[in-house]
Amino acid sequence: MKDHDHPNSHEEKLSPDNHHKEENTHSKEHNGHDEHEKHEEHKNHGHEEQMEHQVHEEHLDHTDHEQKHKGHDHHQAMMDDFKKRFIVSMIVTVPVFFLSEMVQELFGLHFLHFPGDMYVLFILSSFVFFYGGYPFFTGLVNEFKIRQPGMMTLVAVAITTAYIYSVGVTFGLMGMTFYLELVTLIDIMLLGHWIEMRSVMGASRALQELATLLPKNAHNIHDDGTVEDVPLENLKLEDLVLVKPGEKVPADGIIEDGQSYITESLLTGESEPVLRKEGDEIIGGSINGTGSLKVTVKKVGKDSFISQVVALVQEAQESKSSTQDLANRSAFWLTIIALSGGVITLLVWLGVFGHDLAFALERSVTVMVTTCPHALGLAIPLVVAVSTSISAKNGVLIRDRQSFENMKDIQAVIFDKTGTLTEGKFGVTDVISFKKDTFSEDEVLKYAASVEKESEHPIAQGIVKSTHVTYKTKDFQSSPGEGVQATVEDHEVKVVSPAYIEREKIKINSSKLADVEKQPKTLIYVIIDGKAAGVIALADVIRPESKLTVNKLQKQGIRCMMLTGDNEDVARWVAEEIDLDEYFYRILPQEKAHKVHQVQDKGLKVVMVGDGVNDAPALAQADVGIAIGAGTDVAMESADIVLVKSNPEDIVNIMELTKATYSKMKQNLLWATGYNAFAIPLAAGLLYGWGFLLSPAMGAILMSLSTVIVAFNAQLLRIKK
As annotated, the active-site residues are 416
Residues 6+ apart with CB under 8 A from 664: 383, 386, 387, 713, 714, 716, 717
| Closest to 456 measured CA to CA, from 12, 37, 10 | 37
Element (DSSP H or E) covering residue 491? strand 491-496
Distance, CA of 212 to CA of 344 (rounded, Å): 61
SS3 of residue 609 by DSSP: strand
Distance, CA of 634 to CA of 557 (rounded, Å): 31
What are φ and ψ of residue 240, in 5° steps? -105, 125
SS3 of residue 605 by DSSP: coil
Q: Please report, as a single letter, which amino acid is at residue 21.
A: K
**Residue 586 CA to chain centroid, in angstroms?**
25
Distance, CA of 72 to CA of 95 (rounded, Å): 37
Cα–Cα separations (whole angstroms), residue 534 to 465, 495, 513: 18, 10, 9
Class of residue 381 by CB neighbours under 10 A (exposed 0-12, middle 13-18, buried 19+): buried
- Taking each continuous run of H as one helix and of E as one strand, the counts in the chain are 28, 22
Distance, CA of 152 to CA of 167 (rounded, Å): 22
Q: Where are the alpha helices (DSSP H) in 586-649?
A: 589-601, 616-621, 633-638
Distance, CA of 656 to CA of 721 (rounded, Å): 8
DSSP one-letter code for 249: P
| Closest to 396 measured CA to CA, from 612, 656, 79, 666 | 656
Distance, CA of 431 to CA of 534 (rounded, Å): 7
| Closest to 348 measured CA to CA, from 337, 338, 335, 361 | 361
**What do you get for the CA distance between the two ends of the chain, in Å?**
32
Helix axes 650-674, 326-347, angle to 10 degrees: 0
Residues 6+ apart with CB under 8 A from 721: 653, 656
| Closest to 376 measured CA to CA, from 151, 79, 193 | 151
Count CA within 13 A, CB hemisphere, residue 679. Answer: 28
Distance, CA of 690 to CA of 675 (rounded, Å): 21
Give, in degrees to the nearest 5, the angle at Cα 373 between 370 and 378: 135
Distance, CA of 34 to CA of 432 (rounded, Å): 36
CB 566 within 8 A of CB 417: yes
Class of residue 441 by CB neighbours under 10 A (exposed 0-12, middle 13-18, buried 19+): middle
Sheet with 641-643: list strands edge to edge.
396-398, 641-643, 624-628, 606-610, 412-416, 559-563, 582-584
